[in-house]
Every structure is written in C-alpha cells, then in structure tokens.
Amino acid sequence: MKKKNILVLCTGNSCRSQMAHGYLNHFAADQLNVYSAGIETHGLNPGALAIMKEDNISIDHHTSNHVDEYDDVDFDFIVTVCDHANENCPYIPSKNALRLHHNFFDPSKVEGTDSEKHAAFLKARNEIKSYFKDFVAENLVG
C-alpha cells in the first residue's frame, strides 16, 4: 500500500505542529509520510521536546521547516493546527488534499511558574494526541 502524505502546518513549526508530527509518526508511520512546517520557522521549542519525552516519544531529531520547502510534495492531508496558520496559509497546490483545521491551545505563550508552564504543555500535548489518534482511526485503513 502506498503511503499517504500529510502536512501539519502551524505558525512557527516549533511546538504544536512538532507534537502532532511526533504522534502521527507514532500512530501511523507505516501508512503516512509525515511533514510538518510553519509559515515561519522558530526552531524547536524545548517545552515541546520535554513533554513529548514524558510520553516516550522523541522529536529531538525534527527540524523546523518552512512550508515552501515542500512545494513539490502532493499532499493527501493538510492539517492546520492554529488559527494564525489557517488564516495566513499560503496556497498549497495539492489537488486532492483533505484540508482540516483545529486550533490547539498554544502552550508556548503561557507565562508563569515551571509548574504552570508544564501544565500548559501537558494540556496541549494531550489535546493533540487525542485529535491525531482519532484522525488516524477515521482517515486511514488499518
């Protein structure tokens, strides 16, 4: 079976899209080629790396990529994970892509104690994990 291509798009490709990328690889690496990108690149967020590690998923090897790097990829799915990316997304010429949008809570904007920041990343991670687990169940055979 040919793998499907999925793009997860966020503003900076540093946090939410990276967590989604990690879970999609975890849930469906045998069925998906996973790409994540931003309309800007902000590097990997240390909080995202740490919270994913707590769920035994390493995204340390990921890079922060700009959506233009994938101009030549024909996507089957394009998922925007924040309103800013959804509203400012450049045209992506994948003719038959199923386009989905879900505005996930942004933990990188939370200020406060380490405990409050951890709780914010945990909240976002759990929302993302649940959404993409359901996505895989609903959109992929297997």
* Tens-binned pLDDT, residue by residue, of the chain (142 aa): 789 999 999 989 999 999 999 999 999 999 999 999 998 899 999 999 999 999 999 999 999 999 999 989 999 999 999 988 878 776 676 778 999 999 999 999 999 999 999 999 999 999 999 999 999 999 997 6
> Taking a C-beta distance cutoff of 8 angstroms, is the pair 17, 36 a contact?
yes
* pLDDT for the residue numbered 141: 72
Which two tokens mark 54?
A: 């707590």
Q: Which of 57, 89, 110, 119 is catalytic?
A: 89
With tokens 């038959």, the residue in question is 96
Active site residue 82: yes
Please name the CATH architecture into which domain 4-133 falls: 3-Layer(aba) Sandwich (3.40)
The alpha carbon of 30 is separated from its chain's Cα centroid by a whole number of angstroms, namely 17
**Catalytic residue (one of 82, 92, 120, 136):** 82
* 64 three-class SS: coil
CA–CA separation, 20 vs 51, rounded Å?
Answer: 12
Q: What is the pLDDT of residue 102?
A: 95
Residue of 6, 7, 9, 10 with catalytic role: 10
